[in-house]
Chain A
Amino acid sequence: MEAALAFVVSVFFAVAIYLMLSKHIIRILLGVSIFGNAVNLSIFTAGRLMREVPPIIPEALQTPDSAIANPLPQALVLTAIVISFSLFAFLLVLAFRAYQELGTDDTDGMRVAEPEGEPLPPLGY
């Protein structure tokens, strides 16, 4: 099962990196989003996959009475999902605003902050 998931993770990484190499912001954003999912899936796989019962302690006991699933990867993935969700929402709005203001989503065309052909500083005074 780990091998299958590792393969899925590798495909996700490949797709993400291919998309992030694009010039267009929207493709880069899709790449970033897939990148995040690839990482979440690899955290999940790194926590080892097993078919155990949920990590809930029976009411009468103080410790679990049998083997239980590892709850930590799910907590980590949930945190990572929440964070990447909020950052991605911000990035989408930012990219949309940038597209509206700058009229392009081509990173080569986004030269407002660093205009081309800026003069050198004065070389004497």
Chain B
Amino acid sequence: MRTLIFRTVAPYLTSLMILFSVFVLLRGHNEPGGGFIGGLIAASAFAIYGIACGVSPVRRALYFHPMAISGFGLLVSALAGWLSYFFQVPFMTGLWTKVNFLGVPLDLSTVLFFDIGVYLVVLGSITSIALALEEREHG
């Protein structure tokens, strides 16, 4: 699998796929898409990078251990649910706010943070499984 063509293309392909995964994640706000599918796309991006260039560059590129990433995602998701406590509404109620970001009005919500958490959980856990399998194959 480690052909010259693949190794040359893989970094670009990976960065493109990660960009696309973030797009899918944010698009899930109102249209088809969302954290789960975005996380899967990002995880497959890292898997492709791993197939092309080996597992250790991927681990170096990720910097954090994939399981730690998925732990952080779980934390973000859970906190997004707990935030409702301060507004005296039941667990996991969607809370919305408008923010003016550099002159662009943005709708921010706890749902979005929950989805980002899901994205990170899926990204972390699937990447960790994929890297473990790839390591066994090449090791």
Contact = CB atoms under 8 A, between A and B. Distances in A.
The secondary-structure label for the interface of chain A is: helix
A93 B129 CA distance: 10
Interface in B125-139: 129, 133
A89 interface: yes
A82 B122 CA distance: 11
B36 to A, nearest CB: 7
A82 B36 contact: yes
Interface residues of B, number: 3
Contacts, number: 4
Interface of A: 82, 89, 93
B53 to A, nearest CB: 24
Interface of B: 36, 129, 133
B36 A89 contact: no
Nearest to B132: A93
4 contacts: A82-B36, A89-B129, A93-B129, A93-B133
A57 to B, nearest CB: 12
B20 to A, nearest CB: 21
B28 to A, nearest CB: 13
Contacts of A82: 36
Nearest to B36: A82
A85 B133 CA distance: 16
Contacts of A89: 129
Contacts of A93: 129, 133
A82 B126 CA distance: 12
A89 B43 CA distance: 15
A82 B133 CA distance: 20
Contacts of B129: 89, 93
Contacts of B36: 82
A82 B40 CA distance: 11
